[in-house]
Every structure is written in structure tokens, then in C-alpha cells.
Amino acid sequence: MKNFFIMSQFVFLFFSSYFASASDQCMPNMIEFDVCKYAKNLADEASSQLPMRMSNNLMIEKVFAFKNLFSMHVMYGYDEKALYAKAKKNNISIKQINQQIEKSTKANLCQDESPTKSFISLGGKVQYVYKFSDGMPYITVNVDSCE
């Protein structure tokens, strides 16, 4: 009987913590900062400035927020064929390019004292969806930790 009681408490704690964490997506932090509200505000502010050219070959096309996720759709100024040609010319693999994109995206978002680093550390998530100039998807980078 004692084992049943202990097991039932364990099951209750497991499921209650699981559902609590699912419902606390917006405030998963000790200071009760609403990351969902921040993501929505960030998307609202950014969307009024779109499309936004970041460089000759990179443009933010659209942004949106969903719960604690802030997502940006970024378009390159070239197509997949041009990427493969550039990789071949520079003797690097697409895997190496992808790793560099992931690394630089995270480094940009996680700069010391940046608002995005704070947003992520408080439970927010940032997603970059990279596409080619013809609209074909290339790579998606999700950042949910700055560690």
C-alpha cells in the first residue's frame, strides 16, 4: 500500500509538472517576464519595416510570433545553383556552409547585453527561416539557448 501511495505521488508530480511547463510557455522564468508578449511586440515592430535589406544578398521578408517563438523569414539574393557553384569554387561543402550559418545566427542573437539574448535566456525562442531568391527553402535555424 505504501509503494502504491509513493508511486501515485510520483505520477501526479510528473504529469502536473509536465502540464504546468506546457502552460507556462509565456512566463517560464523567475521574474514573470512574458516572453510571448515580447515576441508579439517584436514582430509587430519589425513587420512595419519590412521588407528590410540587411546586405546586398540578404533581406528579411517577413516576421511573425507564435507563443514564445519569434520567427524571421530571410531571403538570399541568389538561388541554390549559385550557392553550390560558390561552395565548389571555394572548395567547401554545403554542410560547412550550414554549420557556419547556424553558428553566426546564434552568435548574432546571443551577443552580450543584446535584447535577443535576454529574450532567449528568459525562455523565448528565435527562428530564422532562410530561403533562396526563388522562394525555395534552404535552412531553418532555431535558437533557444545562448549556451
Q: What would the pLDDT profile of 65-91 be if each residue is shown by its tens digit? A: 999 999 999 999 999 999 999 999 999
Q: Given a cut of 50, is residue 15 above it in pLDDT?
A: no
Q: Which amino acid type is present at position 38?
A: Y
Q: Look up residue 139 and give its three cell numbers.
A: 535552412
| CATH number for the domain harbouring residue 94 | 3.30.300.250
Q: What is the mean pLDDT of residues 115-132?
A: 96
Q: Which domain holds residue 33?
A: 2-143
Q: Which amino acid type is present at position 90?
A: N
Q: How many domains does the chain have?
A: 1
Residue 24's nearest CA partner among 15, 13, 14, 34 is: 34
Q: Distance between CA atoms of 7 and 109, rounded to whole angstroms?
A: 43
- The strand pairing partners of 65, in sequence order, are 70
Q: Given a cut of 70, is residue 49 above it in pLDDT?
A: yes
Q: What pTM does this model have?
A: 0.80
> What is the pLDDT of the chain when averaged over all its residues?
87
The number of residues making up the chain comes to 147
CB-facing half-sphere around the CA of 6: CA atoms within 13 A? 3
Q: Look up residue 76 and give its three cell numbers.
A: 538570399
